[in-house]
Structure 1
């Protein structure tokens, strides 16, 4: 595996690459507050059969820092992936695997560049209707200003710890977040592996431009609404509606893999402020009738059912990162799907 900078027409993107360039290409797209380093084991597992490319988002990992235009939803990031393929001379359709928010980037790539995508693997993907501020399987907004989504929903103590390069074990530290939410309760990393993943998290550019993004105040609970720049705003339903994936003719086949103990992307997500308010963790919650929770998994399923050709696989006792928690099974199922 090599890690190199690729100068594209849009920015400078760090890309992990492995395998024979003449083999079928699979692109791995990481999630929020992470990088392609989280795919190192999976890259090794797939490199014998595929040409593997794993780019870092702008402002994440080893890529150049550049503002994410949230008003385009995931399009800034999916266009960056397309630009990497252009720069590397990868012309034909590729297989794409997206993890967490990377699943939203993968969906956007398929929507905007359908000729680029042959098959999709969605690993614990975010809802096609964004993160926070929507409800129902159709993703209808909870408030007219999409309150409860965007940059202001990130925990400020976590953001401060991330910016400071904190390697401690406080409740809101990056290390504790990695242990408690990226994987299922009880799962432990080998010490050197945990340090490598923490290194990757701490490379996230913190600010209004990248993570979590800017925010505006709202008269609706919980008092914050989305701004216009940065990752968490790009994930707001104000700007992100990927239900159009079902309108592709044809939509690419999808393998959807998720854990049954995922606390991040869930119908009862511990990162949904409405869910936290319902549990009493965020004060002033106005109740389910005013601010219902977001059924994230149900929203994913509704769009994939409308698209038609998908397979859902649920790993028992697994959290938000099946490729880390059950790596051999995950690699085997991905390989079989991409070969079919």
Structure 2
């Protein structure tokens, strides 16, 4: 079995798509959506494992991999990405598909579900971003810490990581090099990563700049002094732009499977990427006591309102499909069969 890699013109942009099982394939279509600072390459093993009984695809989102580097209008939240995904389904002649989204990709597939539920046979969320974005909120219902969304957006990115990403750094010289970020935060520390070099190359495919990663930074008078801008990836994830609190109102409601790693330090109730939590730890000085964003609790609250969901917790970090591939695939395949 091999993977096909092709660029697919759509009504919006031309998107790069990985697939397994040949162009026609067999079985129901399953579309995989990657997370931030990555690409479809993170799904390679999963695609090969599902080929035959299913028709698996993985897309490079705009600004990642080999898809067009179209700019991201962050004021639309994740809709630039989700609209691209829906346009891809149209271009492939698919009336509906099972959608699988990891990290930021989880937010993308939830936005697609919100906007066109008839196109979604089922949803699988893999360590998804909170329905209330990343940073700047508190409580299970995602209340803003400050009206301007302070604490979220591009200004929260580590500038040294951004610099090394832009430079194409493949070394492990810096603790915030892409390779070391992969080892320390994408997976549970100590995990042996298969095809590590290929995954680092996938991370380095990320376009860097104000229209892409991390986006344009804005300042705030409130602590910690950064607020969301209007362009780029991290601003699209900001709580002032992304808010998926009405999923329970859609019809029909396809079943949702939520798979997460219990040792995740990226999407967590105590995320090491949340400036509020870093303030509580004393890493970011001057915290007035702003509470950490309870990301997992927020997702659970939204899914409980939604109703038709199951939650599976694995002993791993942010990337169950990389760290616990057999357990991940077994849970996914069972979900697909029941959907």
Correspondence for 1:160: 163
SS state at 2:12 partner: coil
CA distance in 1, matches of 2:15, 2:136: 31
SS state at 2:112 partner: helix
In structure 2, runs of 5+ residues without a counterpart are none
Q: Spell out, residue by residue over 1:169-228, the C-alpha distance to the aligned partner (whole angstroms, 9 max, x if none).
A: 1111111100000001211214xx110000000010000001111111110111110000
CA distance in 2, matches of 1:143, 1:252: 34
Correspondence for 2:40: 36
Correspondence for 2:13: 11
C-alpha displacement of 1:21? 3.4
Runs of 4+ in 1 over 6 A off after TM superposition: none
C-alpha displacement of 1:251? 2.1
Correspondence for 1:303: 302
C-alpha displacement of 1:22? 4.4
Q: How does 1:177-326 map to 2 (within 5 A)?
A: 177-190=181-194, 193-287=195-289, 291-316=290-315, 318-326=316-324
SS state at 2:327 partner: helix
CA distance in 2, matches of 1:44, 1:160: 34
Q: Spell out, residue by residue over 1:274-312, the C-alpha distance to the aligned partner (whole angstroms, 9 max, x if none).
A: 00111011121121xxx2110000000000000001110
C-alpha displacement of 1:144? 1.3
Quick one: which of 60, 65, 79 aligns to 2:83? 79
C-alpha displacement of 1:147? 0.4
RMSD (Å) for aligned C-alpha atoms = 0.9
CA distance in 1, matches of 2:137, 2:242: 11
Correspondence for 1:109: 112
Q: What TM-score do the two structures reach when normalised by structure 1?
A: 0.96
Q: What TM-score do the two structures reach when normalised by structure 2?
A: 0.97
CA distance in 1, matches of 2:92, 2:273: 37
**Equivalent residues of 2:25, 2:52 under 8 A apart:** no
CA distance in 1, matches of 2:55, 2:247: 26
C-alpha displacement of 1:124? 0.4
